[in-house]
Amino acid sequence: MNQSHEAPLLTADNVTRYYGEHVGCRGVSFDLWPGEVIGIVGESGSGKTTLLNCTSGRLPPVSGTVQFATRAEGLSDIYEMSEAERRMLMRTDWGFVHQNPRDGLRMAVSAGANIGERLMAIGDRHYGDIRRTAGDWLGKVEFNIDRIDDMPSTFSGGMQQRLQIARNLVTKPRLVFMDEPTGGLDVSVQARLLDLLRVLVDELGLSAILVTHDLAVARLITHRLMVMRRGEVVESGLTDQVLDDPQHPYTQLLVSSILQV
Amino acid sequence: MYVAVKGGERAIDNAHALLAEERRGDQKVPELTLKQIQNQMSGAVDRVMTEGSVYDPELAALAIKQACGDLVEAIFLLRAYRTTLPRFATSKPLDTNAMTLRRRISATYKDLPGGQLLGPTFDYTHRLLDFALAAEGGAPVNPTETAPSEVSDQVPRVLEQLNQEGLIEPADTGEEKIPGDLTRDPVSFPADRSVRLQNLARGDEGFLLALGYSTQRGYGRNHPFAGEIRMGEVAVEIVPEELGFAIEIGEITVTECEMVNQFAGSKEAPPQFTRGYGLVFGHQDRKAMSMALVDRALRCRELGEEVEAPAQDEEFVLYHSDVVEAQGFVQHLKLPHYVDFQSELEMIRRLRASFQNQTPAAAE
Amino acid sequence: MDTIDHNRSENAATTDDYNFAYLDEQTKRMVRRSLLKAVAIPGYQVPFGSREMPLSYGWGTGGIQVTASVIGPDDTLKVIDQGADDTTNAVSIRKFFAKTAGIKTTEETEQATVIQTRHRIPETQLKEGQVLVYQVPIPEPLRWLEARETETRKMHALEEYGTMHVRLYEDITRHGKIATSYDYPVIVNDRYLMRPSPIPKFDNPKMDQNPALQLFGAGREKRIYAVPPYTKVKSLDFEDHPFEVQKWDQSCAICRSDNSFLDEVITDDQGGRMFVCSDTDYCQKRVAQQQREKTSNPGEPSV
């Protein structure tokens, strides 16, 4: 993990979000550095998905700020920028991998078109080149290139997830948000996917914020970990430290109740 | 030698003549009069006025006669006529509290002040064809002995009772707002409730009935109760500039339906019943009730409910409810499309030819 | 055959019963304001308060309202459908204006000041000062991608059009070429994505840098848009799959034109067919010209 850069890629400061009287998340602050993967773990209802949505521009917090180091203007508040700028960011410099790949793919168009869409959205107009790039990315996510023209509904869950990842990475984003990317997949398929993610993160120098309820996933892929409970971060630190030597009683409970991988 | 087909103009004139013949039917049978339609087919007249957006039973009768009884055509005639009418005033909101009631029922209470006044309704008839009606010049119908129509200051609103206890959301939000006008401006989304209600009032009865029905069958359930259905005459009032006070310019018959729907609450506010509203010209229980069900379904956004079902989908409902628009676009398929079809023919032949020749797809 | 004076028709009402061209002046003003906005922002869909007309939605009411709002007593109107003056709906619309406006009508493209059309652009080159009014069924080019009006409005505002190419990409993947043959989407003035109405793609190039004013009316969907004279109109394509128009192996059986859009006519039940110009005025003109010259003339310069 590289911390030689001077500024964090993303800074969350006191992010708070309520649903009526129910706390989504409260007072969460953290920095994400280039090349770093942060995990947010907790049980359902802990607020981890809310936090992910707040930091990825999908859900404005009621108080607190989220700032991202844009290429053009450096650290900018993502909710102060115009909708046009935010949407552009979501299509180019950011990626979002949904738990259910159907939410992150166009099911009615081919694999190649799914990957090519972002390129076409930023102005690429050469069919051959787009197709070639799509093919390259299918290769990178260990996808059979012969299936470039097939529809996503013909793929297994694991394949759809890899397609979703390729679709997000084609514009070489610097930050990828992931919401339980391995949820719903078989254990062996999960393992393969996590390996792939780890390799891609390393190769491409990606940063990521990954939400999961599965500590094993966190251990395999994240550098740092935040443990959430009832909307608040109860413990954070280097992943191995948090998992091997949990300080907070809740973390201890979490850790002790899973099978060690 | 092929000669291009001509004579479209003559064909059209002949079609018009044939239509006129068909409309009249057998010349030995007496011609329908507008009065007959107005008096003896009020169900048709009421629907045409409501969806045609013009309260004029005689004009509606004329439209029905001209359309040979095709109510969608009649509604279209009335709408087109409406376009030519100058608008010289906007009435005050109808005061249905002051309605001269001919019918008033509530399903939420067994008995209530003012009682259950059935009025003229199909509800409890047995649907057995009455062949006595087939004879013409039958015995005159004796006027029924009825109590004088209740004036509704003795007939308080059901929902008002609930409102006094705070059990139902108030009808009036208290904000002064000018309602949108669908006959002047196109709808834009998200749409105001006033615009939605206008759209529904003008909307096709069948479409709304089906959507309302779907909410009862689980497509966006909202637990409706028929709080009150009223039918009767209300005054139409305008305030001319020269006078500065309201004058009555006429009286119209309307049917009004208020539904009581499932309660909503939050951490800040205790639960209250919610409302659905329907208002139509003439006597049309079914349309007023359907309208109220769909109105309530479309309020999901403001009541914080998930949009799960077609009846809750604002764009879906409002864009497809207008029978004049719908019939136009569906039937436009009868217009010549041979140029576009020719383009498709050329394309498909070309694609099939390259498929036959096994030309590789243009990949790198 | 030339200009027809339709001041009196044997049917029903005369011009005295209606305001000139049916619509009241307020409505015409409202439509013209929308038209001005449309001309100022080429290709952008302007919402307008479309009125119920005596013809059905879907049968040209948008075009009719636009024509009614721009036409004056000195104008000469041509109405075509599928390129022909004599198809039923063209006849019906022409009669409507004859009845309600009493203006001169014509079948000759060069004589017309206002041309209302459905599904074709005339083959004869239009001139400055002419107005071409298109009838539009569905104005929104992104509708296939996105059913929500709220979302498509945003996409236009933010120029998020790259996904339109996804459809073209899929066509090439599946068929080896772009399979859209009519209502082919275009970019107007390098900014707005627009649907030209269901004209065959053969006609798309005519929209580019046309000296005439092009107005588009969608009555049922309540949208108006415009392409001012001499505006850039480019059909969507890929660099390595450029836009191409339809071609026929045959020429017109009547006037022998090689570069007009041809209708296919079935002549017998053994598969016999022949091809004739869809633009009836253009075809007749060529025949008249050829008869005058008494020589075979393969073709006047096409548009």
Closest CB to B266 among A20, A127, A128:
A20
Mapped onto helix, strand or coil, the DSSP state of residue A165 is helix
- Cα Rg, chain A, nearest whole Å: 18
Contacting C with CB below 8 Å, chain A residues are 83-84, 87, 106, 109-110, 112-113, 116-128, 130-131, 149
Confirm or reject contact between A20 and chain B (CB < 8 A): yes
Question: Cβ–Cβ contacts within 10 Å for residue C259, how many?
Answer: 17
Chain-chain contact of A121 with C240 (C-beta, under 8 angstroms): no
Residue written as tokens 């071609």? Answer: C247
Average the pLDDT over each of A191-200, B127-136, C175-184 and give the range with the smallest value.
Answer: B127-136
Closest CB to C238 among A87, A110, A127:
A127
Report chain A residues whose CB lies below 8 A from the CB of B364. 128, 131-132
Phi first, then psi: give them for residue B303, nearest 5 degrees.
-100, 10
Question: Cβ–Cβ contacts within 10 Å for residue B130, how many?
Answer: 9
Query: At residue A84, does pLDDT exceed 50?
Result: yes
- Give the single-character DSSP code of B333: G
**How confident is the model over C5-61, as pLDDT tens digits?**
333 333 334 446 678 998 889 899 999 999 999 999 999 999 999 988 888 888 899
Q: How far is residue A118's CA from residue A96's CA, in Å, rounded to a whole number?
A: 13
Report chain B residues whose CB lies below 8 A from the CB of C183. 340
Residue written as tokens 């935040």? Answer: A226
* pTM attached to this predicted model: 0.80
Q: What is the pLDDT of residue A73?
A: 87
Q: What is the pLDDT of residue C164?
A: 87
Report chain C residues whose CB lies below 8 A from the CB of B88. none
Q: What is the pLDDT of residue B164?
A: 85
Closest CB to B11 among C27, C53, C88:
C88
Q: How far is residue B304's CA from residue B301's CA, in Å, rounded to a whole number?
A: 5
**For residue B81, what is the nearest residue in chain C, using CA coordinates?**
C54
> Which element (helix H / strand E) includes A74?
strand A74-77
Confirm or reject contact between C165 and chain A (CB < 8 A): yes
Mean pLDDT within C117-129: 96
Residues B206/B333, Cβ–Cβ less than 8 Å: no
The count of residues in chain B is: 364
pLDDT class for A130, splitting at 50, 70, 90?
A: very high
C207–chain B nearest CA distance, Å: 17
Q: How far is residue A130's CA from residue B246's CA, in Å, rounded to a whole number?
A: 70
Highest averaged pLDDT of the listed ranges A83-87, B258-262, C109-113: C109-113
> Which element (helix H / strand E) includes B14?
helix B8-24
Helix axes A127-140, A157-169, angle to 10 degrees: 120
Chain-chain contact of C173 with B354 (C-beta, under 8 angstroms): no
pLDDT class for C174, splitting at 50, 70, 90?
A: confident
Chain-chain contact of B364 with A131 (C-beta, under 8 angstroms): yes
Chain-chain contact of C169 with A127 (C-beta, under 8 angstroms): yes
**For residue C252, what is the nearest residue in chain B, using CA coordinates?**
B2
Query: At residue C160, does pLDDT exceed 60?
Result: yes
pLDDT class for A44, splitting at 50, 70, 90?
A: confident
A123–chain C nearest CA distance, Å: 6
For chain B, give the mean pLDDT: 88
Closest CA to C224 of C25, C2, C8, C70: C70
**For residue C279, what is the nearest residue in chain B, using CA coordinates?**
B339
Strand partners, A19: A22
Chain-chain contact of C59 with B332 (C-beta, under 8 angstroms): yes
Residues above pLDDT 90, as percent of chain C: 67
Mean pLDDT within B157-181: 83
Q: How far is residue B74's CA from residue B51's CA, in Å, rounded to a whole number?
A: 10
Report chain B residues whose CB lies below 8 A from the CB of C54. 80
**How confident is the model over C175-225, as pLDDT tens digits?**
888 988 889 999 999 999 999 999 999 999 999 999 999 999 999 999 999
**For residue B266, what is the nearest residue in chain A, using CA coordinates?**
A20
Strand pairing report for C186-188 and A10-19: unpaired
Closest CB to C173 among A87, A110, A122:
A110
Confirm or reject contact between C8 and chain A (CB < 8 A): no
Query: At residue B150, does pLDDT exceed 60?
Result: no
Q: What is the pLDDT of residue C13?
A: 41
Chain-chain contact of A121 with C174 (C-beta, under 8 angstroms): no
Confirm or reject contact between A123 and chain B (CB < 8 A): no
**How confident is the model over A17-41, as pLDDT tens digits?**
988 778 889 999 999 999 999 999 9
HSE at residue C184, side-chain half, CA atoms within 13 A, is 28
**For residue B265, what is the nearest residue in chain A, using CA coordinates?**
A20
Chain-chain contact of C56 with B331 (C-beta, under 8 angstroms): yes
Q: What is the pLDDT of residue C32?
A: 97
Report chain B residues whose CB lies below 8 A from the CB of C240. 362
Confirm or reject contact between C151 and chain A (CB < 8 A): no
Strand partners, A41: A212, A227
Count contacts between B and C (CB, < 8 Å).
162
Average the pLDDT over each of A180-189, B45-54, B314-323, C149-158 and give the range with the smallest value.
Answer: A180-189
Chain-chain contact of A128 with B364 (C-beta, under 8 angstroms): yes
- Give the single-character DSSP code of A68: E
Confirm or reject contact between C150 and chain A (CB < 8 A): no
Strand pairing report for B225-238 and B100-105: antiparallel
Report chain C residues whose CB lies below 8 A from the CB of A105. none
Residues contacting residue A16 through CB under 8 Å, at least 6 positions apart: A25, A26, A27, A28, A61, A62, A63, A64
Assigned token pair, A61? 């917090």
B363–chain A nearest CA distance, Å: 6
For chain C, give the mean pLDDT: 89
Q: What is the 3-state secondary structure (H, E, C) of chain C?
A: CCCEECCCCCCCCCHHHCCCCCCCHHHHHHHHHHHHHHHHCCCCCEECCCCCCCCCCCCCHHHHHHHHHHCCCCCEEEEEECCECCCHHHHHHHHHHHHHHCCEECCCHHHCCEEEEECCCCCCCCCCCCEEEEECCCCCCCCCCCCCHHHHHHHHHCCCCCCHHHHHHHHHHHHCCCCCCECCCEEECCCEEECCCCCEHHHHHHHCCCCCEEEEEECCCCEEEEECCCCCEEECCECCECCCCCCCCCCCCCCCCCCCCEEEEECCCCCCEEEEECCHHHHHHHHHHHHHHCCCCCCCCCC
Q: What is the pLDDT of residue C57?
A: 84
Residue from B76, B343, B354 to probe the interface with C (highest C Cβ count within 10 Å): B343
Cα-based distances in Å from C10 to B16, C13, C95, C99: 12, 9, 11, 10
Chain-chain contact of C253 with B2 (C-beta, under 8 angstroms): yes
Q: How far is residue A35's CA from residue A28's CA, in Å, rounded to a whole number?
A: 21
Q: What is the pLDDT of residue B358?
A: 64
Mean pLDDT within B1-16: 76
CA B204, B206, B209, B210 dihedral sign is negative
- Continuous H helices in chain A: 48-55, 83-91, 101-104, 111-121, 127-140, 157-169, 187-204, 215-221, 239-244, 249-256
Query: At residue B205, does pLDDT exceed 50?
Result: yes
Phi first, then psi: give them for residue B231, nearest 5 degrees.
-140, 135
Closest CB to C175 among B12, B340, B351:
B351
Strand partners, A244: none
ipTM over 0.85: no
Mean pLDDT within B4-24: 85
Chain-chain contact of B343 with C201 (C-beta, under 8 angstroms): yes
Count contacts between A and B (CB, < 8 Å).
13
Q: How far is residue B211's CA from residue B231's CA, in Å, rounded to a whole number?
A: 23
Closest CA to C126 of C108, C103, C139: C108
Closest CB to B2 among C82, C83, C265:
C265
Report chain C residues whose CB lies below 8 A from the CB of B349. none
Highest averaged pLDDT of the listed ranges A181-195, B338-352, C70-84: C70-84
Decide which of B145 and C24 is more confident. Answer: C24
Active site residues of C: 43, 252, 255, 277, 283
Chain-chain contact of C239 with A125 (C-beta, under 8 angstroms): yes
Report chain A residues whose CB lies below 8 A from the CB of B270. none
**How confident is the model over B213-231, as pLDDT tens digits?**
999 988 887 889 999 999 9
B116–chain C nearest CA distance, Å: 41
Q: What is the pLDDT of residue A221?
A: 92
Q: What is the pLDDT of residue C281?
A: 94
**Angular region, A212: left φ>0, alpha ψ -120 to 50, beta rest:** beta
**How confident is the model over B98-121, as pLDDT tens digits?**
999 999 999 988 878 888 888 898
Chain-chain contact of B336 with C88 (C-beta, under 8 angstroms): yes
Question: Cβ–Cβ contacts within 10 Å for residue C243, how many?
Answer: 16
Chain B: list its partners (3+ Cβ pairs within 8 Å): A, C
Query: At residue A150, does pLDDT exceed 90?
Result: yes
Confirm or reject contact between C52 and chain A (CB < 8 A): no
A129–chain B nearest CA distance, Å: 8
Chain-chain contact of A128 with C240 (C-beta, under 8 angstroms): yes
- Give the single-character DSSP code of B340: H
Confirm or reject contact between A131 and chain B (CB < 8 A): yes
Q: What is the pLDDT of residue A187?
A: 84
Report chain B residues whose CB lies below 8 A from the CB of C181. 340, 343-344, 346-347
C235–chain A nearest CA distance, Å: 13
- Cα Rg, chain B, nearest whole Å: 26
Q: B310-315: list long-range contacts, CB under 8 Å, 24+ apart.
A: B310/B211, B310/B214, B310/B219, B310/B220, B311/B211, B311/B212, B311/B214, B311/B215, B311/B219, B311/B220, B312/B220, B314/B189, B314/B190, B314/B191, B314/B196, B315/B189, B315/C147, B315/C148, B315/C149, B315/C150
Work out the end-to-end distance of chain B between its first and last CA atoms, rounded to an integer number of angstroms.
Answer: 49
Phi first, then psi: give them for residue A22, nearest 5 degrees.
-80, 135
**For residue B314, what is the nearest residue in chain C, using CA coordinates?**
C148
B267–chain A nearest CA distance, Å: 6
Q: What is the pLDDT of residue B213?
A: 93
